[in-house]
Amino acid sequence: MSASPTLSRRDWRKIVPGVIISALSLVVILYLVDLRRLLDALRLADFRYIFLLLVITLIWIVVRSIVWRTLLQERAPLGMVFLTLNQGYLLNNVLPLRLGKWRGRSC
């Protein structure tokens, strides 16, 4: 019989910011989006294209992960490289900041 995993306080401190940001984002989206129009658009959508896009995107990220693993001289496992690459994409999409730029000027 295995013990069920529990989250320590340290783990909760890592999780809480992401949960708060996700909840706030969801509230903002639900406030700004006209749900009736969204549902109408989803009814008209052809989900075959969305599925195809997801498959192509997944393949492309796996290929990029393999390339990055090669650049890292195969010191990191492919799964870790894949997850790290996805985290980078997430952060770039959520926080589209440019390093070296501040108020339109180079640092």
Look at residue 25 and tell me if it is in a domain: yes
| For residues 55-71, average pLDDT | 97
Whether the pLDDT of residue 21 is over 90: the answer is no
Strands of 10-102, DSSP E: 101-102
pLDDT at residue 70, rounded to an integer: 96
Structural domain containing residue 35: 16-45
The two tokens of residue 10 are: 């340290």
Q: Give the confidence band of 61 by pLDDT, cuts at 50, 70, 90.
A: very high
Q: Contact 82/67 with Cβ under 8 angstroms? A: no
Is pTM beyond 0.75? Reply is no
Look at residue 28 and tell me if it is in a domain: yes
Distance CA 30, CA 22 (A): 12
Looking at the fold, whether 52 and 78 belong to one and the same domain comes out as: yes
